[in-house]
Structure 1
Amino acid sequence: MSVAEFKHVWVDRGSPNTLLLLHGTGGSETDLLPIGDTLAPTFNQLSPAGRVMEGPMRRFFRRYGEGKFDESSIREEAAALAEFVRWAAGAYGFDPSRVYGVGFSNGANIAGSLLLLHPTVLAGGMLMRPMLPLEPPEVPDLRGKRVLTVNGERDEMAPLASVERLHALLREGGADLEAVWHSGGHGLTRGELSHGAGWFAGFGE
């Protein structure tokens, strides 16, 4: 795969663990670097930019409208992202079995898509404001994977039923899921980043 297919940033910290940082709609490959530093300052960072354009805004897959996703685009882009992570592991020399997704909004949904469609790519991760991106053809084997989801009770962009369906699939697949809810909406909070940092602190170096 050509590096040019995913514009990205690689931060090598000599760690056995790597964060795959996945921005929200309109973001870039640099958006989540500070959040990665907050969550797991010793981990390597691989931060790609989404390949899909919605007007001037980058995304990780197409949509028809708010909460209405193009499932063929999800499948195509999740497969491409999985291939990119495998390529990057070889190019940069990080352990492909210890990659943890950190995604916000659209980035959280592509991270969820990797877990549901390409479960060997991620060892787990933190999904901020995720919802169910699509129904997988079968329940994936997620045993041994740790997943933290954080959603807002007043988040109109991530409907409760869709979030709960994602939780159900993750649990059915055997993931060690911690589902956190806060009283706010779609925006990130300092409290959840602090919680996430504590969660990542439980991962061995």
Structure 2
Amino acid sequence: MTQAPFIHRFEPGQGASLLLLHGTGGDEHDLIPLARQLAPQAALLSPRGRVLENGAPRFFRRLAPGVFDEADLRQQAADLAQFVRAARQRYGLEGLPLYALGYSNGANMASALLLLQPALLDGAVLFRPMLPLEVHPLPNLSGRAVLVAAGRFDPWSPPGRVEALLDCLRRAGAEVEAGWWPAGHGLLPEELMAARAWLARRIP
């Protein structure tokens, strides 16, 4: 069955663009204010996840907390990549750097895009991610820059699953910077400042 296209919001900018991927229960508006804070000049492409979990939008199905439907994840990642490529053409973003900015479920989707669609993104800022799936063989992520912001007390993104993601990305050749923050699943002002500085070094 063909799914509906991605409802999305686009805001023009200059230079690089950010692909905004919200958490469970969010929508295409959720991360716009944060993105404007972190990268004021960037163009913003913000799709809404098409999977509903008790009415809450997500980017892919899960079978239980922390247990993902891998077949759906792979299909949703392929569909999202196709949408992003078409949107870049539509909005005149082709040839410009593209970074994902994801939170929670959105960060897991961004991780999946890096692993399954390695040519799509130049890098990513991942707030509260974990390894979403195993990929063999690993893609070549040389030249890709990834910032991971993890919470030491996060019950939804266990440290072991975060470390597995870091190891996977590094073995794939990505330039990975990780911050472990004294927080749960919520974000701290200090890590937002660190993310802004990280993006400023990469987005003109």
TM-score in same-fold range (> 0.5): yes
**Counterpart-to-counterpart distance in 2, 1:204 and 1:57:** 32
What secondary structure does 2:148 align onto? strand
Partner of 2:150: 151
Alpha-carbon distance, 1:96 to partner = 4.9
Q: What stretches of structure 1 move > 6 A for 4+ residues in a row?
A: none
- In the comparison of the two structures, how many residue pairs are matched? 202
Alignment partner, residue 70 of structure 1: 69
Same amino acid, percent of matched pairs: 47
In structure 1, the residue matched to 2:12 is 12
Q: Find the aligned partners of 1:97 and 1:137 in 2 and give their Cα distance.
A: 29
> What is the identity, as a one-letter code, of the residue corresponding to 2:9?
V
Matches of 2:170 and 2:109, distance apart in 1 = 18
Question: Could you say what the CA RMSD is over the residues aligned between the two structures, in angstroms?
Answer: 1.2
Please tell me whether the aligned partners of residues 149 and 191 of structure 2 are also in contact (alpha carbons under 8 angstroms). Answer: yes
1:34-73 correspondence to structure 2 within 5 Å: 34-73=33-72
Alignment of 1:36-185 (within 5 A): 36-96=35-95, 98-185=97-184
Distance 2:166 2:16 in 1: 24
- Helix, strand or coil for the counterpart of 1:186? coil
Separation in structure 1 between the aligned mates of residue 196 and residue 74 of structure 2, nearest angstrom: 30
Q: Note the alpha carbon deviations across 1:62-90, whole angstroms, 9 max, x for none.
A: 00111010001110000001001100011
Deviation at 1:204, TM superposition (A): 4.4
TM-score, structure 2 normalization: 0.96
1:16, CA displacement in angstroms? 2.2
Q: CA offsets, 1:27-49, max 9 Å, x none?
A: 00000000100110000000000
Quote the offset at 1:160 in angstroms.
Answer: 1.5
For 1:120, the aligned partner's letter is A
SS of 2:28's equivalent? coil
State how far apart, in whole Å, the 2-side matches of 1:17 and 1:23 are.
19
Whether the aligned pair in 2 keeps the contact of 1:82 and 1:121 (CA below 8 Å) is: yes
Q: Deviations over 1:160-195 (max 9, x none)?
A: 111111101110111110011011100111111111
> Whole-Å Cα distance in 1 between the matches of residues 139 and 145 of structure 2?
14
Structure 1 residues without counterparts, runs of 5 or longer: none
Task: State the AA in 2 paired with 1:174.
Answer: G
**Secondary structure of the corresponding residue to residue 5 of structure 1:** coil
Q: How far apart, CA to CA, are the structure 2 residues paired with 1:96 and 1:158?
A: 34
State the shift of 1:98 in Å. Answer: 1.0
Q: TM-score, normalised by structure 1?
A: 0.96
Q: Partners of 1:120 and 1:96 in 2: how far apart?
A: 12
Tell me which amino acid in the other structure corresponds to 2:151: G
Task: Give a deviation string over 1:80-138, Cα, whole Å, max 9, x none.
Answer: 01001100011111035511000000000000000011011110010000000000121
Structure 2: runs of 5+ lacking an equivalent = none
In structure 2, relative to structure 1, the CA distance for the partners of 1:204 and 1:32 (3 Å cut) is closer
